[in-house]
Amino acid sequence: MSANNLTWEQAIQVFVDGFCFTRSFTHPFLSERLDTTLWWLYDAPRRRPSDTYRGEEYVAWELPPAEVDRQARALARDKFTICYLLPHGTDDTAMRAAFKALGYRLGSTEPFLVHDLTDIPTVPERFPVRRVLTTEQAEALAKTAGRRQILPEFLTQNPPPMRQYIALDEAVPQTVGWVSSVAAAGCGWCNSMFVLTAYRRQGIARALLARMLTDDKTAGATANVLLASHVGALLYPSVGYQQIGTLYLYTPPRPGRAS
């Protein structure tokens, strides 16, 4: 885990808890530990048999791919995805070959990063960063983002289950960037970091992250954890994140297709 103050397993717990929290905005999304190195993430039971279930996720590390596949197929109600994690710098050749032999398709890889909440930079705010504290702010953000980023009930809970931040172009006025921190396993889970295309490369993302991390530290969090796109992975180290691993996103072969 390099210099970070979380173990590998603790960082994965933050990912599992944070991911399930954000997917529970519309319907509870649950997690269950199936093995020492395997989590099952799934929709809570629906009211009617005809209701559609969202795809399940199986978060695994160390466990042989064939065993992950066996357990996933034994439980999955319909579609599922396997999120396989390897520590940073680990040779992935054997793991990739094992999933390929089972017929899985690698959809993407995502760097897994941690900030230990030390050495948080001071970043000038060209566009002011504000924490969302009112329903009106939350609704305006949802309109800009195209979906809800924070539920109204979270604004009145103490301590808050998540904190949402926005960057504003007050001249327009317009929300031009946003990010949130979900309270997960004693840490923060960084969720939905985004800046509008026309406003990128102006330090907005760094300012949002610096404010979020500072507030995480003030709130007593141990660290902040996130999964990044490969473009995002170029940003996060600039505010102190360190890559500790990589997530490999695998989808199973289609029914009827030979594996």
How high is the pLDDT of residue 78? 87
How high is the pLDDT of residue 3? 41
How high is the pLDDT of residue 49? 81
How high is the pLDDT of residue 5? 73
Q: Confirm if 188 and 212 have CB atoms less than 8 A apart.
A: yes
Averaged confidence pLDDT in the chain: 94
How high is the pLDDT of residue 81? 98
What residues are paired with 181 via a beta bridge? Answer: 163, 190
Domain ranges of the chain: 8-115+245-251, 129-222
Instruction: Look up the pTM and report it.
Output: 0.93
Poorest-pLDDT segment among 1-10, 183-192, 224-233: 1-10
Over 90: is that where the pLDDT of 33 sits?
yes
How high is the pLDDT of residue 1? 44
Q: pLDDT confidence of 259, banded at 50, 70, 90? A: very low
Q: Confirm if 41 and 75 have CB atoms less than 8 A apart.
A: no
Span 193-228, pLDDT tens digits: 999 999 999 999 999 999 999 999 999 999 999 999
Q: Confirm if 132 and 164 have CB atoms less than 8 A apart.
A: yes
Span 71-125, pLDDT tens digits: 999 999 889 999 999 999 999 999 999 999 999 999 999 999 999 999 999 999 9
Q: pLDDT confidence of 230, banded at 50, 70, 90? A: confident
The average pLDDT across 142-150 equals: 95
The average pLDDT across 3-23 equals: 91
In sequence order, what are the residues at sequence separation of 6 or more whose Cβ sits closer than 8 angstroms to the Cβ of residue 94? Answer: none
The average pLDDT across 41-50 equals: 91
How high is the pLDDT of residue 255? 63
Over 90: is that where the pLDDT of 242 sits?
yes
How high is the pLDDT of residue 241? 97
Could you give the CA distance from residue 29 to residue 12 in angstroms, rounded to a whole number? 17
How high is the pLDDT of residue 94? 98
How high is the pLDDT of residue 4? 55
User: Widest CA span of the chain, in angstroms?
Assistant: 58
Pick the CATH number of 129-222 from 3.40.50.720, 3.40.47.10, 3.40.630.30, 3.20.190.10: 3.40.630.30
How high is the pLDDT of residue 51? 85
The average pLDDT across 10-16 equals: 98
